[in-house]
A = this chain, B = another copy of it.
Amino acid sequence: MALTLEQIQEAQKRIAPYVLQTPLLRLQNLDPYIGCEVYAKAECMQITGAFKLRGAMNKLLSLSREELDCGIVAASSGNHGKGVAYASKLLGAKATIVMPFTAPKIKVEAIRALGAEIMQCEVSERFEIAAKLCRERGATMVPPFNDEAVMAGQGTAGIEIMTQCPELNAVVVPVSGGGLIGGVSTAVKAISPDTCVYGAEPAALPRYSVSLKVRKPSKVEAKKSIADALVAQIPGNLCFPYVAAHTDGFADVEDEYLLKGWKLLVEEGKLFCEPSSAIGIGAVLQGLIPVQKHDKVCFLISGGSAALDQLDILKGVEV
């Protein structure tokens, strides 16, 4: 099975009753700062607060009733876990979300409130424990990115973007393992080959720019960055070929510029979003993505799972 526009279109039909078509906002107030015509695909306004629901929903809708009845497992303390818990609840499946002991209580409670079982463990053991659960129960694992049904679901955001503004010159996508950009770049390039697709990843975790140089998924050292939703150390091996084939460049963004971008998105763009969402804006501010005054550039705002406390860090940021 290879990921194609047709698969993404099928995913779109399949998940349409369960997800929102989020707005593509023309954020003119950001133009002078970014140097182009700024558009934002507001996935922070998606149900569960992030694009992740698209992939989780498509994956679960591709399972049989029997498979659903054997349960769903995911290892995630963030937006993916929330998306899987929500999708499972909708479809009457029992979800178990494996989360590290270190996960913030507010995130644990948000996922529990969606009816999921929570299993807490050491952070290093979470994938092993999730796999063991699947074996023991015959449950299905929903991977956060390395899965074609998940990628197809995320790609539906790409179809929406190109339908909402067909004349876009570029789309800039936050990147972790590559599920979102794998799906979105496949959709965008199939619909509009001249539209550029750029990835933006934390400079602390340059897994894609390193891997693209050596033409295979390569693991980078685990380091911290402000982009707390973009923590994959290695590209998904199923995502990598699509990303390699369909993207026009990658930006390794320093926290300093991500924070400036985040401040602009909140204060001037008026979007309450999570820091990882602002990495594309940060990439342009850092001079890593070429834009011109009349270019129409869409920044995918991947999620809105920010706590009010987190905004405190923006108070000292200069833009």
Contacts and interface: CB of A to CB of B under 8 A. Distances in A.
Interface in A19-71: 20, 23, 25-29, 42, 44-45, 47, 49
Nearest to A312: B308
Contact of A272 (B26, B45, B267): B267
A49 B270 CA distance: 9
Nearest to A25: B23
A270 B267 contact: no
Interface in A231-267: 266-267
Given A272-B267, A272-B270, A272-B272, A28 B47 contact: yes
Contacts of A25: 23, 45
B267 A308 contact: yes
A100 interface: no
Given A20-B28, A28-B47, A270 B308 contact: no
A309 B315 CA distance: 8
A269 B132 CA distance: 38
Contacts of A272: 266-267, 269-272
A26 B23 CA distance: 8
A304 interface: yes
Range class of the A interface residue count? 20 to 34
A308 B311 contact: yes
A16 interface: no
A293 B47 CA distance: 18
A319 interface: no
Nearest to A42: B270
Contacts of A311: 308, 311
A270 B44 contact: yes
Interface of A: 20, 23, 25-29, 42, 44-45, 47, 49, 266-267, 269-273, 304, 308-309, 311-312, 314-315
14 contacts: A23-B26, A27-B45, A28-B47, A29-B45, A42-B270, A49-B270, A266-B272, A266-B308, A267-B272, A267-B308, A269-B272, A270-B272, A270-B273, A308-B314
Given A20-B28, A27-B45, 11 more contacts: A25-B45, A29-B47, A266-B308, A267-B272, A267-B308, A270-B271, A270-B272, A270-B304, A271-B271, A272-B272, A309-B315
